[in-house]
Structure 1
Amino acid sequence: MGFQRIVPAPPLASVIEAVWDWDMPAGTLRYERILPGPGAGLIINLLEDETRVYQDDESRHCLRASGSVIGGPYRHSWIIDTAEQVRVMGVNFRPGGVHALIGISAEELGVRDINLQDMFGANARRLRQRLLETVCPMQRLALLEQWLCKLCDEPTWDAVILHAAATLARVQEVPGIGRLQRESGYSAHRFGLLFRHHIGMTAKQYARLMRFRAVVAMAHPAAQPDWVRIAVDGGYCDQAHMSHEFRRFAGITPSEFAGSRGPYPNHVPV
Structure 2
Amino acid sequence: MEYVSRVPRPPLDGLIDDLYYLDGASPYALLTLPPAPSALLIVNLGAPFRIRGGTDIETAEYADGCVVTMPTRAWEFGYPLRTRSVGVHFKPWGLAPFLPMPAAELCDRPLTVEQIWGRPAIAELRDRLATADGPHEMLTLLEEELMRRLCETAGLGLVRHTSSVIAATSKGVAIGDLSVAAGVSSTHLAQRFKELIGVTPKRLARTYRFTATVFAINPAGPIDWGDLAYDAGYFDQAHFGHEFRAFTGLTPTRYVEVRRRFLREHPGHVLDGWPLPAD
Q: TM-score, normalised by structure 1?
A: 0.89
Q: Partners of 1:107 and 1:85 in 2: how far apart?
A: 32
Q: TM-score, normalised by structure 2?
A: 0.86
Alignment of 1:215 onto 2:213: yes
Q: Partners of 2:24 and 2:71 in 1: how far apart?
A: 26
Corresponding letter in the other structure for 1:177: I
- How far 1:120 sits from its partner (Å)? 2.2
Corresponding letter in the other structure for 2:13: A
Alignment of 1:41 onto 2:69: no
CA contact (8 A) 2:64 2:122 kept: no
Corresponding letter in the other structure for 1:266: W
Please show how residues 125-144 of structure 1 align to structure 2 within 5 Å: 125-144=123-142
Q: Which residue of 1 aligns with 2:4?
A: 4
Please show how residues 1-270 of structure 1 align to structure 2 within 5 Å: 2-27=2-27, 29-48=28-47, 50-54=48-52, 57=55, 61-83=58-80, 86-102=83-99, 104-121=101-118, 122-152=120-150, 158-172=156-170, 174-220=172-218, 223-261=221-259, 262=262, 264-270=272-278
- How far 1:119 sits from its partner (Å)? 2.8
CA contact (8 A) 2:24 2:84 kept: yes
- CA deviation profile, 1:34-78 (whole Å, cap 9, x unmatched): 111122110122112x33113654x89422234222122101111
Q: Partners of 1:16 and 1:147 in 2: how far apart?
A: 14
Query: Structure 1 residues 89, 221: closer, same or farther in 2, change over 3 A?
Result: farther
Corresponding letter in the other structure for 1:166: S
Q: Partners of 1:46 and 1:220 in 2: how far apart?
A: 34
Aligned positions, number: 267
CA contact (8 A) 2:100 2:116 kept: no
CA contact (8 A) 2:2 2:24 kept: yes
Ranges in structure 1 where 5+ consecutive residues have no aligned partner: none
Ranges in structure 2 where 5+ consecutive residues have no aligned partner: 263-270
- How far 1:172 sits from its partner (Å)? 3.7
Identity of aligned residues (%): 30
Superposition RMSD in Å: 2.4
Q: Partners of 1:224 and 1:61 in 2: how far apart?
A: 37
- CA deviation profile, 1:185-243 (whole Å, cap 9, x unmatched): 22232121112112210111111111110111101465223322221121111111111
Select between 118-127 and 242-251 the one with higher mean Cα deviation: 118-127
SS at match of 1:9: coil
